[in-house]
Chains A and B, each alone.
Chain A
């Protein structure tokens, strides 16, 4: 079975603070793909990153960074120097080796306070 857990329901930080969003996944597939999406109040899910299971290299994109650790089945997302525009709901998702169904976590609502 495929499952994604985002234990943090809501997080509030003050602008310029760093924040890490946790994501833990479960899968029996040896090849799988992990994703992060951002959902602003407008509703559209915005793709942020995809990571393949065979590539554990961490990634940095501007203020965003992702830490993928297969040993702990985690794919955490860190925003450095948070800004008010980062306020949104963030979803972690998993896609297995077959089919095109994405399994989403329940999301973490991030509020950045100016």
Chain B
């Protein structure tokens, strides 16, 4: 079955602009998590959505927001972009596997460059 699809793959924006990233999870998966990956901070958790509700949120400013639609597709939005927002944004599709632990399957990411 199809994997996790993230669009676009690359984005170039300027400071002060806003951006919306999209993620389509694996069919049947209802939970989506977002991560920011930078060389300095590594992989940092942004938030998780399950059945259109934000279930968990990382330590990021309010400029970072997200939502999930009824078909489980998710978007994340960053407003008033700053240079430090340049990063690879990864979306993970979560499923409950046997034993009670979720496995996160990742998309290829959206690489955002803020100029």
Contacts and interface: CB of A to CB of B under 8 A. Distances in A.
Interface stretch (A38-46, A68-76, A78-86): A38-46
Given A100-B48, A100-B56, A101-B48, A47 B43 contact: no
B64 interface: no
Given A42-B108, A43-B111, A52-B101, A102 B45 contact: yes
Q: Bin the interface of chain B by size.
A: 20 to 34
Q: Bin the interface of chain A by size.
A: 20 to 34
B61 to A, nearest CB: 18
B105 A47 contact: yes
Nearest to B110: A43
A44 B106 contact: yes
Interface of B: 31, 33, 35, 42-43, 45, 48, 50, 55-56, 58, 88, 90, 92, 94, 97, 99, 101-109, 111
13 contacts: A37-B106, A43-B108, A45-B92, A47-B104, A47-B106, A50-B97, A50-B103, A101-B33, A101-B45, A101-B48, A101-B56, A102-B43, A105-B42
